[in-house]
Amino acid sequence: MAWYNSIFKNRVDEEIKAFKSKGDKLLTFNQASKKTGEGIEDIHLVTGFGNVGLSSFNMFYNRYINIMFENELARIKEYRSMSQMSEVADIIEDAVNESTQEDEEGETLKLLIKDPDLEENENIVNNLTEEFNKLFYSNLNINEKLWDILRTYFIDGRYYYERIIDQNHPTNGIIGIKRLPTETMDYNINPMTGEITEYYQYLTEKPRRPANKEEALKDKNVVVFNPEQIGFVNYGVYGNSKYEILGYLDKARIPYNQLKLLETSVIIYRIVRAPERLVFRIDTGAMPMDKAMKFVEKVKQQMLKKQSYDPTTGRLTQEPEVLSILENFYLPQSSDGRGSQIETVGGNAAGFTELDDIYYFSRKMYRALKYPLSRVSAGQEKREADVMFGGSNTGEISRDEIKWAKFLERQQKRVCNDFVELFLLHLEFKGLKKQYGLTKKSIDVYLNPPSHYKEQMQQNFLATEFENYASFSDREEVSKSFAMKKFLHWDNDTIKENVAGFKKDKELGLVKSEDSY
C-alpha cells in the first residue's frame, strides 16, 4: 500500500482546486474547511457528536461508534436472511437480470464521451474507447462480474471491491478488481467534508472498531486502505448517520416479518386443527383415580409420540416408531362406563380457506420492494393488474412497470458513477487523464436500459404523429411543409434533408421519376 501513498501523496482534489473565494483567490484546503458550514453532511455523521466533551470520548465511542458498526453487521445479516425467502429471491433475481442485459454485440457497459471538443477528435475517441474496452472487458471481464456486483448491492445495500494494479508497472493501469466481503469492511468519514478518508477491513470475527487511522495501523487484524484503492457503491439512503446504510430491502423488513409470522401461524393452525383426533377410553376397572391416571399415561406413551412443526425447515418433527397421529386423547373409564367427556372448543374453519391477511402483507412487501404487482399472478393475489399507463398510444405499458424500470435505472446510475471513477483512475495511471484534461464531466459510463418501454412509447407516438400528418397533408388549405413542422416537428434543415433524400433515391434508382417529391 505504500505505492498508493507515493503516487497520491501530492494529489489535490479537483473540487478543492476549483473552489474560489469572492476575491477570486484560490483557497487552501484548511481555509476552505474553516468556511464549511454545518450542512446535512455534518448532521448525518454521528448522532450526538457535539454533545460530549473530550474527556467522555471513550464512553461516547463505546456507546455510539462501535455499536453502530455492530448494528450494521446485524442489518446485513438480516438482509441476507430476507433474501433467502423465495419471493424476495425472485425479485432480486429479476432486478439483477434486467439491470445487466447484454446488447446485440454482447456488451453490458458502454462509454459515452460528453465533452463536445473531445468527441470531435477521432483519435482521442478511439484511444478512450480502446482503453475502456481493455479495462472493463479484457482486464475485468465485466459481463461476468456485473451480476455478482448488482446482486450483492441489492441484498447488502452496498458493495466493496479492491482496485488492483501491477506495483512494478503501474502505468499499465487497473489490471483487476477483487471483491471484498461486505461484513468485513468499514470506513472513516471526514466530519468537515463528508468524504471517506480511509477504509478498514477486519480480519477477526468480532472486531472492535478503531478510534482513528493511527490505532488501526497498529492493529495487525485490521487492513487499512486509502480511498483510491477501494471501489464502494451503496444504496444512498442513511439512518441516523452516514455510517448507517439502509439498503434496498430495508423498507420490506416489517411486511416481510409480518408475512413470515402469518405464514407460520397458518401452517401451525392447519396442522393443529386439520387432523382427526381419536379418543381412547381406557378401561381402568375399579382402580383409584391416581393409579388409573398412571395406567392411562403408560398406555399413552406406548401408543403416541407428539409431533411438532419447525418453521425454519417447514418440516414436522417426531420421534421414531410413532404408532398413531398427532395429539389423540386418552381418558380413564370405570367399569360401569363412567368417564370424562371431550367437546370441541374455539377454532375457526375459515382459517383453512381465507388467506386475505397473507395476500395483504404479501402485496405490502411487493410494494416496499417496488416490484410491479402486475407481474404477480392476479388469481393468486386476488387482484387485477394495475391501470395501464397511457392507454393504447403506448402499447398498454403498465404504470408500475415504468416505475420499476426507472428505479432500476437509478440503481444502474449509482454503479456506473463508481465505474467512471475507476476508469478515470485507470487513465490517470496511463497518463491519459492529464493529457486529455479529463474530469468526471468529460465522460460517462452507462448500462443497457432494463426495458424498452421508452423505445416502445416513442414508436407509438411517432406512429400517431404520422397519422395526424397524413390526415392534413393532402388538404388543399394545408401546405406540406407546414404539416411537417406542425405534426412531425421537423425544422427547415430536416425538411431540406428529406427533399435531398428524394433526389438521392432517384439517382440510385430506388424510385421512379413520377414517384419523386
- For 8-12, 72-76, 237-241, 356-360, which range has the lowest pLDDT when averaged over its residues? 8-12
Q: Is pLDDT at 392 greater than 50 in this prediction?
A: no
What one-letter code names the amino acid at 308? S
Percent pLDDT > 90 in the chain is 35
Per-chain mean pLDDT for the chain = 77
Q: What is the pLDDT of residue 137?
A: 94
User: Over 70: is that where the pLDDT of 152 sits?
Assistant: yes
Residue 148: exposed, middle, or buried by beta-carbon count in 10 A (0-12, 13-18, 19+)?
Answer: middle
The whole-model pTM stands at: 0.69
Q: Higher confidence at residue 79 or residue 267?
A: 79
Interatomic CA distance for residues 165 and 167, integer angstroms: 6
Sorted by sequence, the CB contacts under 8 Å of residue 398 that are 6+ apart come out as: 372, 374, 385, 386, 387, 388, 389
Q: Quote the CA–CA distance of 87 and 369 in Å, as a whole number.
A: 11
Instruction: Report which listed range, 11-20, 122-131, 376-385, is most confident.
Output: 122-131
Q: Please choose, from the candidates 370, 3, 43, 487, the residue with its C-alpha nearest in 3D space to the C-alpha of residue 238.
A: 43
Mean pLDDT, residues 46-55 taken together: 42
pLDDT band at 331 (very low <50, low <70, confident <90, very high): low
The string of pLDDT tens digits covering residues 126-147 is 999 999 999 999 999 999 999 9
Higher pLDDT, 305 or 13: 305
Structure confidence at residue 81 (pLDDT) = 94
Contact 139, 176 (CB under 8 A): yes
User: The C-alpha cell of 176 is what?
Assistant: 483487476
Determine the pLDDT at residue 145.
Answer: 92
Highest mean pLDDT among 23-27, 156-160, 490-494: 156-160
Question: In angstroms, rounded to a whole number, what is the distance separating the alpha carbons of residues 492 and 474?
Answer: 20
Q: What is the pLDDT of residue 95?
A: 94
pLDDT value at 40 more than 60: no
**pLDDT tops 70 at residue 227:** yes
Name the phi and psi angles at 53, rounded to 5: -90, 175
Q: First and final CA of the chain: distance in angstroms?
A: 70
Strand 196-202 relative to strand 315-317, pairing: unpaired
Range with the poorest average pLDDT among 300-309, 355-364, 383-392: 383-392
φ, ψ of residue 419 to 5 degrees: the values are -65, -30
Q: What is the pLDDT of residue 338?
A: 66
